[in-house]
Amino acid sequence: MSPLSNLAARDVETLVHPYIDLASFRDSGPLIFERAKGIYVYDTDGKPYIEGMAGLWCTALGYGNAELVEAAAAQMRKLSFAHLFTGRSHDPAIELAEKLKEIAPVPISKVFFCGSGSEANDTQVKLVWYFNNALDRPNKKKIVSRVKAYHGVTVAAASLTGLPGNHRDFDLPLPGFLHTGCPHHYRFAHEGESEEDFATRLAAELDALIVNEGPDTVAAFIAEPVMGAGGVIVPPRTYFEKIMAVCAKHDVFMISDEVICGFGRLGTAFGCQKLGFVPHSISVAKALSSAYLPIAGVMIREALYQALLVESKKIGTFGHGFTYGGHPVSAAVALKAIEIYARERIFERAAKLAPQFQSRLKALNGHPLVGEARGLGLIGAVELVADKSTKRSFLPQRGVGPRALQFGEGEGLIVRAVAGDVLTLCPPLIISEAELDELFDRLTRALDKTHDWVVRERIAEA
Protein backbone atom coordinates (compact mmCIF):
# COMPACT_ATOMS: atom_id res chain seq x y z
CA MET A 1 0.00 0.00 0.00
CA SER A 2 1.33 3.40 -0.93
CA PRO A 3 2.16 5.63 2.01
CA LEU A 4 -0.56 8.13 2.63
CA SER A 5 -0.05 11.56 1.12
CA ASN A 6 0.63 14.33 3.55
CA LEU A 7 -2.94 15.61 3.46
CA ALA A 8 -4.33 12.08 3.78
CA ALA A 9 -2.06 11.38 6.74
CA ARG A 10 -3.21 14.57 8.43
CA ASP A 11 -6.82 13.54 7.80
CA VAL A 12 -6.31 10.16 9.45
CA GLU A 13 -4.79 11.84 12.50
CA THR A 14 -7.48 14.49 12.85
CA LEU A 15 -10.95 13.39 11.68
CA VAL A 16 -13.57 10.89 12.73
CA HIS A 17 -15.37 9.97 9.51
CA PRO A 18 -18.97 8.81 9.28
CA TYR A 19 -19.86 5.44 7.77
CA ILE A 20 -16.50 3.72 7.51
CA ASP A 21 -14.69 1.00 9.42
CA LEU A 22 -12.53 3.44 11.36
CA ALA A 23 -9.82 0.84 11.92
CA SER A 24 -9.19 -0.19 8.28
CA PHE A 25 -9.59 3.44 7.24
CA ARG A 26 -6.34 4.20 9.04
CA ASP A 27 -4.55 2.22 6.30
CA SER A 28 -6.68 3.08 3.27
CA GLY A 29 -7.01 6.79 4.01
CA PRO A 30 -9.43 9.21 2.37
CA LEU A 31 -10.13 10.14 -1.25
CA ILE A 32 -9.77 13.91 -1.07
CA PHE A 33 -11.62 16.26 -3.40
CA GLU A 34 -10.44 19.75 -4.14
CA ARG A 35 -12.84 21.37 -6.57
CA ALA A 36 -15.91 20.71 -8.69
CA LYS A 37 -17.82 22.02 -11.68
CA GLY A 38 -21.10 20.89 -13.22
CA ILE A 39 -21.44 17.16 -12.54
CA TYR A 40 -17.67 16.63 -12.10
CA VAL A 41 -15.60 16.59 -8.91
CA TYR A 42 -11.79 16.66 -9.02
CA ASP A 43 -9.44 14.99 -6.57
CA THR A 44 -6.16 16.47 -5.33
CA ASP A 45 -4.32 14.99 -8.34
CA GLY A 46 -6.72 16.81 -10.66
CA LYS A 47 -8.49 13.60 -11.72
CA PRO A 48 -12.14 14.20 -12.70
CA TYR A 49 -14.98 11.96 -11.55
CA ILE A 50 -18.65 12.01 -12.53
CA GLU A 51 -20.45 12.63 -9.24
CA GLY A 52 -23.00 9.87 -9.74
CA MET A 53 -24.42 10.37 -6.25
CA ALA A 54 -24.96 14.16 -6.35
CA GLY A 55 -22.74 14.24 -3.25
CA LEU A 56 -25.05 12.57 -0.78
CA TRP A 57 -28.25 12.63 -2.86
CA CYS A 58 -28.26 16.40 -2.63
CA THR A 59 -26.40 18.54 -5.22
CA ALA A 60 -29.30 18.69 -7.68
CA LEU A 61 -27.93 21.72 -9.53
CA GLY A 62 -24.39 20.35 -9.63
CA TYR A 63 -21.32 22.36 -8.68
CA GLY A 64 -20.09 25.87 -9.28
CA ASN A 65 -23.46 27.48 -9.92
CA ALA A 66 -22.60 31.19 -9.96
CA GLU A 67 -26.13 32.34 -9.15
CA LEU A 68 -26.21 30.32 -5.93
CA VAL A 69 -22.77 31.57 -4.97
CA GLU A 70 -23.87 35.16 -5.58
CA ALA A 71 -27.12 34.68 -3.63
CA ALA A 72 -25.06 33.54 -0.63
CA ALA A 73 -22.53 36.36 -0.95
CA ALA A 74 -25.22 39.02 -1.33
CA GLN A 75 -27.12 37.80 1.74
CA MET A 76 -23.89 37.58 3.76
CA ARG A 77 -23.14 41.19 2.90
CA LYS A 78 -26.68 42.28 3.79
CA LEU A 79 -27.47 40.26 6.93
CA SER A 80 -25.12 37.38 7.66
CA PHE A 81 -27.05 36.05 10.62
CA ALA A 82 -30.38 36.49 12.28
CA HIS A 83 -32.43 33.92 14.16
CA LEU A 84 -36.11 33.12 14.41
CA PHE A 85 -36.24 32.72 18.22
CA THR A 86 -38.48 34.83 20.48
CA GLY A 87 -40.32 36.57 17.69
CA ARG A 88 -37.38 37.73 15.59
CA SER A 89 -37.43 37.18 11.84
CA HIS A 90 -35.85 38.06 8.52
CA ASP A 91 -37.06 38.27 4.96
CA PRO A 92 -35.25 35.23 3.44
CA ALA A 93 -36.98 32.87 5.92
CA ILE A 94 -40.38 34.48 5.35
CA GLU A 95 -40.02 34.38 1.58
CA LEU A 96 -38.76 30.80 1.59
CA ALA A 97 -41.66 29.62 3.77
CA GLU A 98 -44.09 31.38 1.39
CA LYS A 99 -42.44 29.70 -1.58
CA LEU A 100 -42.57 26.26 0.03
CA LYS A 101 -46.26 26.73 0.81
CA GLU A 102 -46.84 27.69 -2.81
CA ILE A 103 -45.16 24.58 -4.28
CA ALA A 104 -46.23 22.11 -1.57
CA PRO A 105 -48.04 18.97 -2.72
CA VAL A 106 -50.69 19.29 0.02
CA PRO A 107 -52.14 22.38 1.74
CA ILE A 108 -49.40 23.54 4.09
CA SER A 109 -50.04 26.07 6.81
CA LYS A 110 -46.56 26.74 8.23
CA VAL A 111 -42.90 25.78 7.85
CA PHE A 112 -40.46 25.11 10.70
CA PHE A 113 -36.83 25.50 9.61
CA CYS A 114 -33.86 23.53 10.86
CA GLY A 115 -30.42 22.57 9.61
CA SER A 116 -30.47 18.93 8.52
CA GLY A 117 -32.69 16.05 7.55
CA SER A 118 -32.10 14.46 10.95
CA GLU A 119 -33.21 17.62 12.74
CA ALA A 120 -36.28 17.76 10.53
CA ASN A 121 -37.28 14.21 11.40
CA ASP A 122 -36.52 14.69 15.10
CA THR A 123 -38.78 17.71 14.90
CA GLN A 124 -41.49 15.63 13.24
CA VAL A 125 -41.43 13.22 16.17
CA LYS A 126 -41.56 16.02 18.75
CA LEU A 127 -44.39 17.79 16.93
CA VAL A 128 -46.46 14.62 16.81
CA TRP A 129 -45.95 14.11 20.56
CA TYR A 130 -46.80 17.73 21.30
CA PHE A 131 -49.86 17.49 19.01
CA ASN A 132 -51.22 14.47 20.83
CA ASN A 133 -50.66 16.08 24.20
CA ALA A 134 -52.56 19.13 22.95
CA LEU A 135 -55.40 16.82 21.87
CA ASP A 136 -55.34 15.16 25.29
CA ARG A 137 -54.24 11.82 23.85
CA PRO A 138 -51.18 11.30 26.06
CA ASN A 139 -50.81 7.62 25.14
CA LYS A 140 -50.83 8.10 21.37
CA LYS A 141 -47.07 8.48 20.94
CA LYS A 142 -45.52 5.49 19.13
CA ILE A 143 -44.05 6.07 15.72
CA VAL A 144 -43.94 3.40 13.02
CA SER A 145 -41.14 3.38 10.49
CA ARG A 146 -39.91 0.59 8.22
CA VAL A 147 -37.11 -1.92 8.08
CA LYS A 148 -34.32 -0.41 5.90
CA ALA A 149 -35.68 3.14 6.24
CA TYR A 150 -33.18 5.95 6.57
CA HIS A 151 -34.31 9.05 8.42
CA GLY A 152 -31.04 10.32 9.91
CA VAL A 153 -28.83 9.82 12.92
CA THR A 154 -29.86 12.08 15.79
CA VAL A 155 -31.37 10.04 18.61
CA ALA A 156 -35.00 10.09 17.49
CA ALA A 157 -34.18 10.11 13.75
CA ALA A 158 -31.79 7.16 14.21
CA SER A 159 -34.59 5.35 16.04
CA LEU A 160 -36.77 5.91 12.97
CA THR A 161 -33.99 4.61 10.75
CA GLY A 162 -34.38 0.88 10.19
CA LEU A 163 -30.78 -0.13 9.48
CA PRO A 164 -28.84 -2.27 11.97
CA GLY A 165 -25.61 -0.27 11.56
CA ASN A 166 -27.34 2.82 12.94
CA HIS A 167 -28.67 1.01 16.00
CA ARG A 168 -26.06 -1.48 17.09
CA ASP A 169 -24.14 -0.41 20.20
CA PHE A 170 -25.75 3.00 20.07
CA ASP A 171 -28.48 1.50 22.29
CA LEU A 172 -31.13 2.33 19.71
CA PRO A 173 -33.94 2.39 18.75
CA LEU A 174 -35.53 4.13 21.70
CA PRO A 175 -38.67 2.52 23.11
CA GLY A 176 -41.81 3.53 21.21
CA PHE A 177 -40.20 3.34 17.75
CA LEU A 178 -41.48 0.41 15.70
CA HIS A 179 -40.48 -0.94 12.31
CA THR A 180 -42.86 -2.58 9.89
CA GLY A 181 -41.91 -4.57 6.77
CA CYS A 182 -39.71 -3.25 4.00
CA PRO A 183 -41.54 -2.85 0.66
CA HIS A 184 -38.86 -4.53 -1.44
CA HIS A 185 -40.49 -7.00 -3.80
CA TYR A 186 -37.23 -8.60 -5.03
CA ARG A 187 -36.12 -9.48 -1.51
CA PHE A 188 -39.26 -9.88 0.54
CA ALA A 189 -42.13 -10.97 -1.72
CA HIS A 190 -43.18 -14.60 -1.52
CA GLU A 191 -42.53 -16.89 -4.48
CA GLY A 192 -44.94 -15.89 -7.26
CA GLU A 193 -46.51 -13.05 -5.24
CA SER A 194 -47.59 -10.12 -7.43
CA GLU A 195 -46.61 -6.56 -6.54
CA GLU A 196 -50.24 -5.82 -5.65
CA ASP A 197 -50.54 -8.87 -3.40
CA PHE A 198 -47.24 -8.04 -1.73
CA ALA A 199 -48.52 -4.50 -1.08
CA THR A 200 -51.73 -5.91 0.38
CA ARG A 201 -49.72 -8.16 2.69
CA LEU A 202 -47.52 -5.24 3.85
CA ALA A 203 -50.59 -3.13 4.58
CA ALA A 204 -52.12 -6.01 6.54
CA GLU A 205 -48.85 -6.34 8.47
CA LEU A 206 -48.98 -2.64 9.37
CA ASP A 207 -52.64 -2.96 10.37
CA ALA A 208 -51.84 -5.94 12.61
CA LEU A 209 -48.91 -4.10 14.19
CA ILE A 210 -51.08 -1.09 15.03
CA VAL A 211 -53.93 -3.25 16.34
CA ASN A 212 -51.50 -5.28 18.41
CA GLU A 213 -49.89 -2.20 19.93
CA GLY A 214 -53.28 -0.54 20.39
CA PRO A 215 -54.35 2.18 17.91
CA ASP A 216 -54.67 4.65 20.78
CA THR A 217 -50.88 4.29 21.33
CA VAL A 218 -49.71 4.75 17.71
CA ALA A 219 -49.27 8.34 16.60
CA ALA A 220 -47.55 8.36 13.23
CA PHE A 221 -46.10 6.45 10.29
CA ILE A 222 -43.08 7.86 8.45
CA ALA A 223 -41.85 6.89 4.99
CA GLU A 224 -39.49 7.95 2.25
CA PRO A 225 -41.45 7.78 -1.04
CA VAL A 226 -38.52 5.80 -2.51
CA MET A 227 -36.16 4.50 0.18
CA GLY A 228 -32.66 5.85 -0.43
CA ALA A 229 -29.84 4.74 1.84
CA GLY A 230 -31.59 1.43 2.48
CA GLY A 231 -30.75 0.57 -1.13
CA VAL A 232 -33.05 2.61 -3.41
CA ILE A 233 -36.21 0.62 -2.84
CA VAL A 234 -39.20 1.49 -4.99
CA PRO A 235 -42.40 0.27 -3.30
CA PRO A 236 -44.65 -2.23 -5.09
CA ARG A 237 -47.63 -0.96 -7.08
CA THR A 238 -50.60 0.11 -4.88
CA TYR A 239 -48.43 0.15 -1.73
CA PHE A 240 -49.02 3.70 -0.56
CA GLU A 241 -52.75 3.75 -1.25
CA LYS A 242 -53.11 0.64 0.93
CA ILE A 243 -50.81 1.98 3.66
CA MET A 244 -52.65 5.30 3.62
CA ALA A 245 -55.96 3.51 4.20
CA VAL A 246 -54.53 1.71 7.23
CA CYS A 247 -53.19 4.96 8.68
CA ALA A 248 -56.53 6.71 8.10
CA LYS A 249 -58.42 3.85 9.75
CA HIS A 250 -56.38 4.17 12.94
CA ASP A 251 -56.04 7.96 12.93
CA VAL A 252 -52.29 7.66 12.41
CA PHE A 253 -50.43 10.69 11.04
CA MET A 254 -48.52 10.12 7.78
CA ILE A 255 -45.15 11.82 7.44
CA SER A 256 -43.39 11.97 4.08
CA ASP A 257 -39.63 12.13 4.41
CA GLU A 258 -38.84 14.02 1.21
CA VAL A 259 -35.21 14.64 2.13
CA ILE A 260 -34.04 12.76 -1.00
CA CYS A 261 -37.17 12.64 -3.16
CA GLY A 262 -38.17 16.28 -2.75
CA PHE A 263 -37.35 18.82 -5.48
CA GLY A 264 -37.57 16.79 -8.62
CA ARG A 265 -35.67 13.57 -7.96
CA LEU A 266 -38.54 11.39 -9.18
CA GLY A 267 -39.57 13.84 -11.91
CA THR A 268 -42.22 15.50 -9.75
CA ALA A 269 -41.72 18.35 -7.28
CA PHE A 270 -42.26 15.96 -4.34
CA GLY A 271 -41.93 12.19 -4.18
CA CYS A 272 -45.36 11.63 -2.60
CA GLN A 273 -46.89 13.04 -5.80
CA LYS A 274 -45.15 10.40 -7.88
CA LEU A 275 -46.07 7.59 -5.47
CA GLY A 276 -49.62 8.85 -4.95
CA PHE A 277 -49.95 9.51 -1.25
CA VAL A 278 -51.14 12.46 0.76
CA PRO A 279 -49.02 13.17 3.84
CA HIS A 280 -49.97 15.15 6.95
CA SER A 281 -46.52 16.67 7.13
CA ILE A 282 -43.31 16.72 5.10
CA SER A 283 -39.57 16.81 5.83
CA VAL A 284 -37.32 18.57 3.31
CA ALA A 285 -33.54 19.14 3.18
CA LYS A 286 -30.69 18.37 0.73
CA ALA A 287 -31.90 19.67 -2.69
CA LEU A 288 -33.84 22.43 -0.92
CA SER A 289 -30.62 24.43 -1.31
CA SER A 290 -28.98 22.01 -3.77
CA ALA A 291 -26.67 21.46 -0.77
CA TYR A 292 -24.83 24.74 -1.29
CA LEU A 293 -25.59 25.43 2.37
CA PRO A 294 -27.28 23.36 5.07
CA ILE A 295 -30.99 23.98 5.48
CA ALA A 296 -33.98 21.75 6.16
CA GLY A 297 -37.62 22.18 7.00
CA VAL A 298 -40.77 20.61 8.34
CA MET A 299 -43.91 21.58 6.44
CA ILE A 300 -47.04 21.25 8.55
CA ARG A 301 -50.77 21.49 8.01
CA GLU A 302 -53.22 23.79 9.75
CA ALA A 303 -54.58 21.14 12.18
CA LEU A 304 -51.10 20.50 13.56
CA TYR A 305 -50.37 24.21 13.75
CA GLN A 306 -53.60 24.79 15.69
CA ALA A 307 -52.51 22.16 18.21
CA LEU A 308 -49.14 23.88 18.58
CA LEU A 309 -50.97 27.12 19.33
CA VAL A 310 -53.06 25.51 22.04
CA GLU A 311 -50.16 23.71 23.69
CA SER A 312 -47.70 26.61 23.57
CA LYS A 313 -50.35 28.92 25.02
CA LYS A 314 -50.87 26.49 27.88
CA ILE A 315 -47.12 26.17 28.56
CA GLY A 316 -46.19 29.75 27.72
CA THR A 317 -43.68 28.85 25.01
CA PHE A 318 -43.03 26.55 22.06
CA GLY A 319 -39.80 25.12 23.44
CA HIS A 320 -38.11 23.91 20.29
CA GLY A 321 -35.71 25.56 17.85
CA PHE A 322 -32.18 25.52 16.46
CA THR A 323 -29.73 28.42 16.36
CA TYR A 324 -29.22 27.94 12.65
CA GLY A 325 -32.85 27.08 11.81
CA GLY A 326 -33.75 29.15 8.76
CA HIS A 327 -30.30 30.74 8.62
CA PRO A 328 -30.71 33.78 6.36
CA VAL A 329 -27.82 32.87 4.05
CA SER A 330 -29.04 29.28 3.66
CA ALA A 331 -32.60 30.52 3.14
CA ALA A 332 -31.45 32.99 0.46
CA VAL A 333 -29.62 30.19 -1.35
CA ALA A 334 -32.64 27.87 -1.09
CA LEU A 335 -34.87 30.58 -2.52
CA LYS A 336 -32.48 30.99 -5.43
CA ALA A 337 -32.30 27.21 -5.95
CA ILE A 338 -36.11 27.01 -6.12
CA GLU A 339 -36.12 29.94 -8.53
CA ILE A 340 -33.65 28.08 -10.77
CA TYR A 341 -35.66 24.84 -10.53
CA ALA A 342 -38.70 26.72 -11.84
CA ARG A 343 -36.93 28.85 -14.46
CA GLU A 344 -34.89 25.97 -15.92
CA ARG A 345 -37.80 23.54 -15.55
CA ILE A 346 -35.49 21.16 -13.70
CA PHE A 347 -38.22 18.83 -12.42
CA GLU A 348 -39.66 18.41 -15.93
CA ARG A 349 -36.14 17.88 -17.19
CA ALA A 350 -35.65 15.08 -14.64
CA ALA A 351 -38.90 13.51 -15.83
CA LYS A 352 -37.69 13.78 -19.43
CA LEU A 353 -34.31 12.19 -18.66
CA ALA A 354 -35.82 9.42 -16.53
CA PRO A 355 -36.63 7.00 -19.40
CA GLN A 356 -33.01 7.14 -20.63
CA PHE A 357 -31.66 6.74 -17.08
CA GLN A 358 -34.02 3.88 -16.28
CA SER A 359 -33.44 2.05 -19.57
CA ARG A 360 -29.65 2.19 -19.19
CA LEU A 361 -30.07 1.11 -15.56
CA LYS A 362 -32.47 -1.77 -16.26
CA ALA A 363 -30.20 -3.01 -19.06
CA LEU A 364 -27.75 -3.91 -16.27
CA ASN A 365 -30.20 -6.64 -15.21
CA GLY A 366 -28.43 -8.67 -17.89
CA HIS A 367 -25.03 -8.31 -16.22
CA PRO A 368 -23.78 -11.52 -14.56
CA LEU A 369 -23.26 -9.77 -11.20
CA VAL A 370 -26.53 -7.89 -11.03
CA GLY A 371 -29.41 -9.51 -9.15
CA GLU A 372 -31.67 -6.51 -9.52
CA ALA A 373 -31.33 -3.11 -11.20
CA ARG A 374 -34.07 -0.85 -9.86
CA GLY A 375 -35.07 2.76 -9.64
CA LEU A 376 -37.51 5.54 -10.44
CA GLY A 377 -36.98 8.96 -11.94
CA LEU A 378 -33.30 9.87 -11.62
CA ILE A 379 -32.47 7.54 -8.72
CA GLY A 380 -31.45 3.93 -9.02
CA ALA A 381 -29.38 1.03 -7.74
CA VAL A 382 -27.86 -2.25 -8.76
CA GLU A 383 -27.81 -5.07 -6.24
CA LEU A 384 -24.85 -7.38 -6.76
CA VAL A 385 -25.39 -11.05 -6.01
CA ALA A 386 -23.30 -14.20 -5.90
CA ASP A 387 -25.99 -16.23 -7.65
CA LYS A 388 -28.60 -14.60 -9.85
CA SER A 389 -30.96 -17.58 -9.95
CA THR A 390 -31.19 -18.01 -6.16
CA LYS A 391 -30.61 -14.30 -5.35
CA ARG A 392 -27.89 -15.40 -2.94
CA SER A 393 -25.90 -12.43 -1.66
CA PHE A 394 -22.12 -12.35 -1.31
CA LEU A 395 -20.77 -12.77 2.20
CA PRO A 396 -20.47 -9.23 3.61
CA GLN A 397 -16.82 -9.80 4.56
CA ARG A 398 -15.97 -10.32 0.86
CA GLY A 399 -16.52 -6.60 0.42
CA VAL A 400 -17.90 -6.85 -3.11
CA GLY A 401 -19.80 -3.55 -2.99
CA PRO A 402 -16.79 -1.58 -1.69
CA ARG A 403 -14.56 -3.24 -4.30
CA ALA A 404 -16.99 -2.28 -7.10
CA LEU A 405 -16.92 1.26 -5.71
CA GLN A 406 -13.13 1.28 -6.08
CA PHE A 407 -13.34 0.04 -9.66
CA GLY A 408 -15.85 2.84 -10.26
CA GLU A 409 -13.40 5.36 -8.87
CA GLY A 410 -10.75 3.93 -11.17
CA GLU A 411 -13.12 4.63 -14.09
CA GLY A 412 -13.74 8.17 -12.86
CA LEU A 413 -17.18 7.53 -11.38
CA ILE A 414 -18.49 8.16 -7.89
CA VAL A 415 -21.28 5.86 -6.75
CA ARG A 416 -22.10 4.67 -3.26
CA ALA A 417 -22.09 1.12 -1.89
CA VAL A 418 -24.67 0.47 0.80
CA ALA A 419 -25.26 -2.67 2.83
CA GLY A 420 -26.02 -5.79 0.83
CA ASP A 421 -23.62 -4.87 -1.98
CA VAL A 422 -26.02 -2.36 -3.45
CA LEU A 423 -24.50 0.36 -5.64
CA THR A 424 -26.64 3.48 -5.63
CA LEU A 425 -26.95 6.19 -8.27
CA CYS A 426 -28.44 9.63 -7.88
CA PRO A 427 -26.78 12.07 -10.32
CA PRO A 428 -27.27 15.83 -10.28
CA LEU A 429 -30.53 16.71 -12.04
CA ILE A 430 -28.62 18.95 -14.45
CA ILE A 431 -26.84 15.98 -16.01
CA SER A 432 -27.03 15.92 -19.84
CA GLU A 433 -28.06 12.98 -22.01
CA ALA A 434 -24.45 12.48 -23.14
CA GLU A 435 -23.16 12.64 -19.55
CA LEU A 436 -25.78 10.12 -18.49
CA ASP A 437 -24.56 7.70 -21.15
CA GLU A 438 -20.98 8.29 -20.03
CA LEU A 439 -21.99 7.57 -16.42
CA PHE A 440 -23.48 4.20 -17.40
CA ASP A 441 -20.52 3.36 -19.67
CA ARG A 442 -18.20 3.88 -16.72
CA LEU A 443 -20.46 1.93 -14.37
CA THR A 444 -20.60 -0.98 -16.82
CA ARG A 445 -16.81 -1.08 -17.09
CA ALA A 446 -16.55 -1.02 -13.27
CA LEU A 447 -19.03 -3.90 -13.02
CA ASP A 448 -17.11 -5.88 -15.64
CA LYS A 449 -13.89 -5.41 -13.68
CA THR A 450 -15.67 -6.39 -10.47
CA HIS A 451 -16.97 -9.51 -12.19
CA ASP A 452 -13.48 -10.45 -13.46
CA TRP A 453 -12.18 -10.07 -9.91
CA VAL A 454 -15.06 -12.11 -8.45
CA VAL A 455 -14.35 -14.95 -10.90
CA ARG A 456 -10.55 -14.76 -10.55
CA GLU A 457 -10.63 -14.76 -6.75
CA ARG A 458 -13.59 -17.14 -6.48
CA ILE A 459 -15.43 -14.58 -4.38
CA ALA A 460 -18.87 -16.04 -5.09
CA GLU A 461 -18.09 -19.29 -3.29
CA ALA A 462 -19.93 -19.53 0.00
Question: What's phi and psi for 53, nearest 5 deg?
Answer: -115, 10
Of all residues in the shown chain, the one whose CB is closest to ligand PLP is 117
Own/partner contacts of 76-80, CB < 8 Å, gap of 24 or more, are 76/329, 79/328, 80/328, 80/329
Task: Give the C-alpha separation, 345 to 133, whole Å.
Answer: 42
Distance from first CA to last CA of the chain, Å, rounded?
A: 28
Q: How far is the CB of 257 from ligand PLP (least distance, A)?
A: 5
Between the CA of residue 340 and those of 67, 335, 346, 373, what are the distances in Å? Answer: 9, 9, 8, 31
Tell me the window of 150-158, 177-185, 209-217, 235-243 that interacts with ligand PLP (CB under 6 A). 150-158
- Tell me which of 158, 206, 219, 229 binds ligand PLP, using CB under 6 A: 229
Question: Rule CB under 6 A: is residue 116 a binding residue for ligand PLP?
Answer: yes
Q: How far is the CB of 277 from ligand PLP (least distance, A)?
A: 15
Task: Give the C-alpha separation, 371 to 388, whole Å.
Answer: 5
Task: Give the C-alpha separation, 38 to 364, whole Å.
Answer: 26
Other C-beta atoms closer than 10 Å to the C-beta of 264 total 23
Binding to ligand PLP (CB under 6 A) within 234-273 occurs at 257, 259-260
Task: Give the C-alpha separation, 402 to 240, whole Å.
Answer: 33
Nearer of residues 416 and 451 to ligand PLP, judged by Cβ: 416
- Tell me which of 140, 142, 146, 151 binds ligand PLP, using CB under 6 A: 151
Strand partners, 384: 370
Question: Rule CB under 6 A: is residue 293 a binding residue for ligand PLP?
Answer: no
Nearer of residues 53 and 447 to ligand PLP, judged by Cβ: 53
- Tell me which of 224, 383, 411, 421 binds ligand PLP, using CB under 6 A: 224
Q: How far is the CB of 262 from ligand PLP (least distance, A)?
A: 9
Question: Rule CB under 6 A: is residue 152 a binding residue for ligand PLP?
Answer: yes
- Tell me which of 112, 131, 150, 198 binds ligand PLP, using CB under 6 A: 150
Q: How far is the CB of 79 from ligand PLP (least distance, A)?
A: 24
Determine the distance from the C-alpha atom of residue 436 to the mean position of all C-alpha atoms in its chain, rounded to a whole number: 21
- Tell me which of 55, 228, 377, 427 binds ligand PLP, using CB under 6 A: 228
- Tell me which of 285, 298, 331, 418 binds ligand PLP, using CB under 6 A: 285
- In this structure, are strands 218-223 and 253-257 parallel, antiparallel, or unpaired? parallel
Question: Rule CB under 6 A: is residue 166 a binding residue for ligand PLP?
Answer: no
Question: Rule CB under 6 A: is residue 75 a binding residue for ligand PLP?
Answer: no
Question: Rule CB under 6 A: is residue 420 a binding residue for ligand PLP?
Answer: no
Q: Which residues contact 132 (CB under 8 A, 6 or more apart)?
A: 138, 140, 141, 219
> By the criterion CB under 6 A, which residues form the site for ligand PLP?
56-57, 116-118, 121, 150-152, 224, 228-229, 257, 259-260, 285
